Structure 1
Amino acid sequence: MIRCIAVDDEALALEVIQNYIEKLPDFQLIRNCQSALSALQLLTQTSVDLMFLDINMPDLTGLQLVRTLKDPPLVILTTAYSQHALEGFELDVVDYLIKPIPFDRFVKAVQKAQLRLLTAESMSNKGLEAPVLDESEFIFIKTEYKTVRIDIKEIVYLEGKKDYVQIHTNQTRFMTLLPLSRLMEKLPARQFVRVHRSFVVAVNRIDSIERNRIHIGQVLIPIGELYRDELMKRIG
């Protein structure tokens, strides 16, 4: 049984989480907390596997609570605002749910948490450290005045432009103020390869390689000499 707590200063939000958890056979809600401070006290007294955590609360915010904990449980953020999404994922939260939370989206989030817990338990039983999962489904990036979610499977290539990176996806392009190397850290390493000082490509999007150029559809991407050997290793 996965032991959960819900932390939110709004009673209605807690009621929604409680109703959702009661529908899931492998999850048990052991306490509702109406402040981060009460959750902090509870976490020093009892074992918790998963915490549903609101961000905007008085005295101590949800993100501040996570930073306070030496060994926090898994966290699923629940909030009415999206602007803290990037900061949340930098704290390695399981998922980020925007209120009002649909039940199917809630189920998807708890399944991610369940997978993490099962993986960690399996590795512990074998006397091994749990591996760093390289199976992220999406990233959040700041673009203009908002934070945008991008599905990783939609990314075709990245193009560095000094202090900015342009992310090319199937449908559109996004510009974010972030060094190319920093953005690469957020992506699954086995799915992307740097081929030039200014370009990173999704390996499974490469159609062909001709001399010093990569063909991805009608797009031609240069191959830098410093990156050629690594590229050829990656494609076998």
Structure 2
Amino acid sequence: MIRCIAVDDEQLVRDLLEDNIRQIPFLQLVKTCKNALEAAEVLQTTQVDLIFLDIQMPRLNGLQFLQSLKNPPLVILVTAYEQYALEGFNLQVADYLLKPFSFERFLKACNRANDLFRLQQQPAATEEITDFFVNVEYTLVKIVVSDITYIEGLKDYIRIHLSSSPKPVLTRMTMKAMEEKLPAAAFVRTHKSFLAAVAKITSIKRDFVCIGVTEVPVSEFYKENITRMINRPEK
């Protein structure tokens, strides 16, 4: 069961959200709030897994409120203003509902949030993972670990290059988080912005490792990783 709150300064919208939420079997409405300050108070005392969040509210708008949360729950933005969609995506919201919305569109957003919630609840794997999902423009995309050739860091995003596709997968995640997710023995950090699949490396140059015709840079700081990889005992 996903525990949720609805935050909107309009009573009619709060009533609509409450009615819709009560029709979704996997949602449990904890409280409706008329502003972000009320919502913040609820978060301090109650477990909340999902927020239906309006953007245009007095004193503290929804985006400011979301940015103020250290460990925010899942969020579905509910707003009449389409121009905030990109900013919402950058804040990794589960979905973006544009008022007025149908119940079918509301259900679709809730199903997306439910998928993300279930992924978050999965226990830590005791074995090396073989695949995982990343969020790409409100869609969960499956990544097969053995298909990865190398990963490129771009500030708050990473670009995952795959053997099976000429187009890399772009997702909001740090290199550190991705490195921790992947099997340590299967990947080597060559640069602060690059992580290469050991099995895909075809040759090694002074300042690059080659994956076919692609040259992945090796910085001075990470050259010791390449040395350890070369001297790794065979199984």
User: Structure 1 residues 12, 54: closer, same or farther in 2, change over 3 A?
Assistant: same
Contact 2:151–2:159 (CA under 8 A) maintained in structure 1 = yes
Alpha-carbon distance, 1:84 to partner: 2.6
Alpha-carbon distance, 1:29 to partner: 1.1
Gaps of 5+ in 2: 99-104, 125-130
Alpha-carbon distance, 1:96 to partner: 2.8
Aligned equivalent of 1:210, options 198, 203, 207? 203
User: Structure 1 residues 68, 190: closer, same or farther in 2, change over 3 A?
Assistant: closer
User: Structure 1 residues 62, 188: closer, same or farther in 2, change over 3 A?
Assistant: farther
User: Structure 1 residues 199, 14: closer, same or farther in 2, change over 3 A?
Assistant: same
User: Structure 1 residues 73, 138: closer, same or farther in 2, change over 3 A?
Assistant: closer
Contact 2:6–2:31 (CA under 8 A) maintained in structure 1 = yes
Query: What residue is the counterpart of 2:86 in the other structure?
Result: 83
Q: Secondary structure at the match of 2:117?
A: helix
Query: How many percent identity over aligned positions?
Result: 25
Q: Deviations over 1:94-144 (max 9, x none)?
A: x43122455234213124335545759xxxxxxxxxxxxx9661368xxxx
- TM-score, normalising length: structure 1: 0.56
Q: Aligned runs of 1:1-236 on 2, under 5 Å?
A: 1-10=1-10, 14=14, 17-43=17-43, 47-52=46-51, 53-66=53-66, 74-79=73-78, 80=82, 81-85=84-88, 88-89=91-92, 95-100=93-98, 101=105, 103-114=107-118, 116=120, 137-138=134-135, 153=143, 157-158=150-151, 167=159, 169=161, 170-172=165-167, 183-191=174-182, 193-196=188-191, 199-201=194-196, 203=197, 207-212=200-205, 213-216=209-212, 218-221=213-216, 225-229=223-227, 231=229
Contact 1:8–1:33 (CA under 8 A) maintained in structure 2 = yes
Q: Secondary structure at the match of 1:60?
A: coil
User: Structure 1 residues 208, 3: closer, same or farther in 2, change over 3 A?
Assistant: closer
User: Structure 1 residues 149, 194: closer, same or farther in 2, change over 3 A?
Assistant: farther
User: Structure 1 residues 138, 229: closer, same or farther in 2, change over 3 A?
Assistant: farther
User: Structure 1 residues 84, 152: closer, same or farther in 2, change over 3 A?
Assistant: farther
- TM-score, normalising length: structure 2: 0.56
Counterpart amino acid of 2:27? F
Query: For residues 28 and 192 of structure 2, what CA distance do their matches in structure 1 show?
Result: 50
Contact 1:195–1:231 (CA under 8 A) maintained in structure 2 = no
Gaps of 5+ in 1: 90-94, 121-133, 141-147, 176-181
Contact 1:51–1:75 (CA under 8 A) maintained in structure 2 = yes
RMSD: 4.7
- Give the greater-gyration-radius structure (CA): 2
Query: For residues 109 and 120 of structure 2, what CA distance do their matches in structure 1 show?
Result: 17
Query: For residues 107 and 227 of structure 2, what CA distance do their matches in structure 1 show?
Result: 47
Alpha-carbon distance, 1:5 to partner: 0.9
Q: Deviations over 1:162-211 (max 9, x none)?
A: x9999465454799xxxxxx94135353436422466333x38x534324
Number of aligned positions between the proteins: 198
Contact 1:138–1:152 (CA under 8 A) maintained in structure 2 = no
Alpha-carbon distance, 1:11 to partner: 5.5
Counterpart amino acid of 2:114? V
Counterpart amino acid of 1:210? S
Alpha-carbon distance, 1:65 to partner: 3.2
Contact 1:50–1:74 (CA under 8 A) maintained in structure 2 = yes
Alpha-carbon distance, 1:26 to partner: 3.6
Query: What residue is the counterpart of 2:128 in the other structure?
Result: none
